[in-house]
Structure 1
Amino acid sequence: MPIELANMLVCGSTYKNKERIAEPTLETLNVTVIDELPRQIRRKSDDTLYRRYETDRGVTLAVKNFELARALFFHNQYLIRAAFSSKGLKELAFFNEDLNEPKIIFPDSTRYPVSNIRTKASKSHLAWLYTDQLAARSFFSIFEVVNRIDSKGVYEFSFAPPPVLDWNFEVAGIYSENRENFWVSEILTVNNNSFFAPEGLMIKHPKMKHLVQVPRKERKYLKLPPSVSDQFRPSFPGGATP
C-alpha cells in the first residue's frame, strides 16, 4: 500500500468506493491529558504497543504510536511523504524566523496545493509544525526511527511524540473490563491548548498573490477524515479491512 495512504489507515475501518467507513460500534470519549505514563504496554488482544496517558476523567488513555502520528502529522500526502524523508519539513517549505516578519515560505517549484492552506485549522497546523521546535523534532523522529529499522524484519511503528500535557482529545475506542483503561482505535479531534502562532506569522505561496495570515489561536480541529488526493484513494471491491 502506498505510504501516501497512511492517513487513511485507521484500526477497524473498512473501505468501499473510495470511502473510509469507521467502526460504528466504538464508544467515544472526550478527555484532557494530565500526565504521561513512562512505559508503553503491549495489549494481548492485538499484540501491539500502546502509549498511555492519564486523563481528567480518571481513565487511562492507551493509544498506538501510528494512530498518534496519523492524527498529529499525517494530514495530507505531502506531509506524509515529508515525514518519511531525510529532508523532513524542509522538503516542503522554509521558515523565516525574522521576529518582525516571520514567514513560512513555499518555493516557486512547490507542488503543495493552495487548498491545503485555505482553512484556519490547516494554517494553524502548519504554523505549529514549523515554529514549535518540539513539534518539528517529533515530526523528524519518524524518519529517524524508520531509517534505523532493518527492512527485512517485521517491526512496530514508533516515533517520539511531542508533549501533550493539557491537550484535549476526542477519541473512539473501547473500555477495558474494569473501565479503568480506554483503548483508542481512532483519534477524532485534537485541541492543542498550549500553542500560539508567532505574532504576525504569514505564509507565502507562489500561487497566491498575497501573503496569508496565520491565526494566533485555532485550537480545535477535526482530524477525520484527512484529505487524500483521489489518485491515492484505495478502492476495495465490496469493502475490506486492510
Structure 2
Amino acid sequence: MVDWLHAYVSTTETTSGNSNPNRHLPFYAICQAVLYIFIYRHQEIARLPDGIETVLGWRIGRIISSELNPLKYSLPAITHRFAQLARNYQIVFCYSIIETNNRYTLPETFSTNDYLNGNLPSNILYSYFPFDPYVLKRSLIFIQTIYNDYRDENDESNIHKDSDDHDRQEIDDSEDVLTSMMMSTTPGSSDSLDQFPTTTMSTSLKNSRNPPSILPFDRSPGFRNAIN
C-alpha cells in the first residue's frame, strides 16, 4: 500500500489540474488505512528488531506533506493519534501540517454542489470502518479468535507531556472532530463469547472539552495473524 501511495504521489506531481480532492478518494482511503494499521500495531512493530527502521523506510513524510494533503481528509482521531505516535518514535512530525489545516477548516455543511466543486466534507471517510466495533453477535463467534481489540497499555507514558498537551489542544480547537464513535461499555475479554461486550454506546467528542488523548476505539478491529 505504501508503494502505491508513493507511486500515486509521483504521478500527481507531474499532472496538472489535481486541485479537486474527490478525484483522489482511493488515495485518501489507503493512506488512512496505513495510518490506522500503524496505530493498532505500533507496539508489535516496535518489538521487532528492525520494526521502526522499516516504518522509517516507508517515507511517510513525503506522503503527508504532498500537495494531496491526506491528513486534511483523514479522520481527526486517527490523524492526532498518529501524530502522537510518529513523534514518539521519531518517524515524522505532523503537527505543523495539522496546524496549517486547522487554519483552513472545511465547511461543516455539505451539499451535492460542494462535492462537484471539490469540497469534501471532513467526515468523508467515516464510513470506512463499518465493523468498528464489531457488533454482529451471531457472526462474532467465527472471527473472535482473530479479532484484535485496541489496547492502550499505558503507552501514553512514553509520549512527551508537551506533545500530549499540544495534541489535546489541537483536538479541542478542531471543528471537524468526529461527531460520534461507537464504544464498548464493558472491558471484556476475547476468551469466550460471553465475555465479549454485547452493549455499546455512542459518545460525542465534538463538544467535549477534555477528549481522550487516544483513539476512542475501545473495541476496534485490526486482525492479528491467525496462523502461529
Query: What is the TM-score when the length of structure 1 is the normalising length?
Result: 0.30
The structure with the largest helix share of the pair is: 2
Which fold has the larger relative contact order, with Cα–Cα distance below 8 Å and residues 6 or more apart in sequence? 1
The structure with the largest strand share of the pair is: 1
Query: What is the TM-score when the length of structure 2 is the normalising length?
Result: 0.31
